[in-house]
A = this chain, B = another copy of it.
Amino acid sequence: MHIRNLSNLECTRLLSGNRLAHLACAKDGKPYVVPIYFAYAENYLYAFSMPGKKIEFMRANPEVSLIVEERGHGREWKSVLVEGRFEELPDRIGHKRERDHAWSLLSKHFDWWEPGALKPVTPPISDHSEHIFFRVFVEQIYGREAKEV
C-alpha cells in the first residue's frame, strides 16, 4: 500500500461528501467516543444531537477530535482527522440558514443517526425542536490516502 497525505482541498472535499464521523470529546480526563452525522460548510461541521453525555462533555470542554473515513476499492481508504472546537447554536442567536441547510442534509438519517444517545423507549421524534444544534470549528485537518501499488 502506498500512503500519501491529502491536500487541504482534498480533505474538505472528503468532508463535504460524507455524513458520518466518529467524534471524541473529553471531560475531567475521561474520553468519550460516539458516531455522529454532520454536514460540512465553510470550515464548520454542523450537527444535531439529543441532550446527553456528549453535549454535557462538550459544554464542559469544547475541544473535540473527529475522524471521517471513506473506503475505496479493495483495501484502499481515505481518512480525514479534524481537531476542532464545539460551539452550541441556540435558536435564539440565529443561524437559521445553517440550521435549515444542515437539517435538510441530515434529516434522512433521522431515526438512527444517534446510536449513542438514542435511549430505549424514546418516543418518536416529530420535529427537530428537541435537538441541540451545534457546530465544530475546524482548527486543524489532516488527511491520508492508502492506494494499492
Q: Measuring CB to CB, which residues of chain A are less than 8 angstroms from any residue of chain B?
A: 1, 3-5, 22-26, 29-35, 61, 63-67, 69, 75, 77, 79, 81, 83, 111-112, 115-116, 118-122, 144, 146
Contacts and interface: CB of A to CB of B under 8 A. Distances in A.
A1 to B, nearest CB: 5
A24 B33 contact: yes
B77 A115 contact: yes
A4 B122 CA distance: 10
B116 A29 contact: no
Interface of A, helix, strand, loop or mixed by DSSP: strand
Given A29-B29, A31-B65, A75-B111, 15 more contacts: A1-B111, A3-B120, A26-B29, A26-B31, A29-B63, A30-B83, A31-B63, A32-B65, A69-B115, A77-B112, A77-B115, A79-B115, A79-B116, A116-B144, A118-B144
Contact of A35 (B30, B35, B69, B119): B69
Given A3-B120, A22-B33, A24-B31, A146 B67 contact: no
15 contacts: A1-B112, A4-B120, A23-B33, A24-B31, A24-B32, A24-B65, A25-B31, A31-B65, A32-B65, A34-B67, A34-B81, A67-B116, A79-B115, A115-B146, A118-B144
